[in-house]
Structure 1
Amino acid sequence: MPAVSSAFRQAVKKLSDKEKEAIILKAARRDAELYDLLSYEILEEVTLEEVYEQSADKIHELLIHATGRSLTKALAKALRKAIKEIARFKRITKDQKAEVDLHLYTLRLIFSNFTGQFDSYYKGFYTATARLLLRTMQLIRKNLHEDYHLEYKSELDEFLEQMHSRKKPLPVTLPQEFEVE
């Protein structure tokens, strides 16, 4: 993303309201994410909960409707898209707790529906899930208050136990349990 120069800022300040409106509308028509960002920032009826629900629905659709010759490969591809959807959500809302909640929602979907695919010969889905779990724990430690650490501990410990119970070697180093300070 380019840095905004002072000359650009001055030029924007000189624009009339009508010119600014035309530029904003033109940019929003070209970029769906910018449209979503502007909708979230400007419109009162577009709330955090609504944006969260849209992202959660998209993640659910991606994972539950993953199909292909190899379900494990299709799930790995769907999980990559789900992670991109979570990143898009964060760019729009900047809400760190809701980002963690989407991570946990994705992990819940995986562990309640697709753990049988962890034993597949193709290890991409297993690896991606382990990395997502590790990333989620890191986000909780880094961005959320200690009270949330306790709230998420039991669920994360359950996910960690399921990952450690596999006969496959773990692709990343996962702790035995989620440490709470």
Structure 2
Amino acid sequence: MPAPSPDFKRALKQLSDKEKEDLLLKAVRRDAELYDLVRYEILPDVDLRTLLDEHAERIAALLQKANGRVMNRALSRALGKAAKEIARAKRITKDKRLEVDLNMYTLRLVLDEYPQYFEGFVYAFYVSTVRLLLRTAKLIPKLHEDLWLEYKPEFDDILDTLRRHEKHRQLRYPLPTELELPS
């Protein structure tokens, strides 16, 4: 997206409040992400908790609606869509903790509802879950040190659950035994 030119800024200042409102409403109707961003910025009742709940519901719906001939592949695609939903939430809020919370929610949901799909010939769903876990492992050390202790036990539990499957030996990269935090 190009940077707004001085002429554009000047023309925008010359618009009346009604014209600015119409222009903003037209833009928000076309782009759902822009709508969420503007809603987050201007409405006082839309905070991080609200966005966390909304995106968690969307992620749960994506995984529940997954269907196909091979359920492992369908769940793997749904997990990819969930990752895009998490990225969208991060773009809206610019909050790393929200991203980690949504990643952990997704991992908990997968391990609570769909662990039976880790078994079988196709292991795309298992690999997708491991990738999400490793992405989360890279994000947690970027948070404040006090939050590390909050996420570490649950993360290590999820990691231990994924390591119990035989498929972790077939991965191209070894799974760590615990969350590695900087000293």
TM-score calculated relative to the size of structure 1: 0.91
* 2:47 matched residue in structure 1: 47
Q: Distance in 2 between matches of 1:9 and 1:26?
A: 18
> Alignment partner of 2:107: what SS?
helix
Query: Residue in 1 aligned with 2:112?
Result: 112
Counterpart of 1:121 in structure 2 is 121
Whole-Å separation in 1 of the counterparts to 2:107 and 2:172:
17
Which residue is 2:27 aligned to?
27
Aligned partners of 2:21 and 2:135: how far apart in 1?
A: 40
Aligned positions of 1:8-157 closer than 5 A: 8-142=8-142, 144-157=143-156
1:176 is aligned to: 177
Supply the distance in 2 between the matched residues of 1:73 and 1:43 (Cα, whole angstroms).
Answer: 39
How does the TM-score come out when normalised to structure 2? 0.90
Q: How many residues align?
A: 180
Q: Structure 1 runs of 4+ off > 4 angstroms?
A: none
Matched AA of 1:53: D
Deviation of 1:171 (Å):
4.0
Shift of 1:123: 2.1
Amino acid in structure 1 at the alignment position of 2:90: K
Query: Hey, what's the Cα distance between the residues in 1 that align with 2:162 and 2:7?
Result: 54
Q: What is the rounded CA distance, in whole Å, between the counterparts of 2:12 and 2:96 in structure 1? A: 31
Is the 1:131–1:172 Cα contact (8 Å) retained in structure 2? no
Residues 163 and 171 of structure 1, relative CA distance in 2, 3 Å threshold: farther
- Quick one: distance in 2 between partners of 1:6 and 1:41? 24
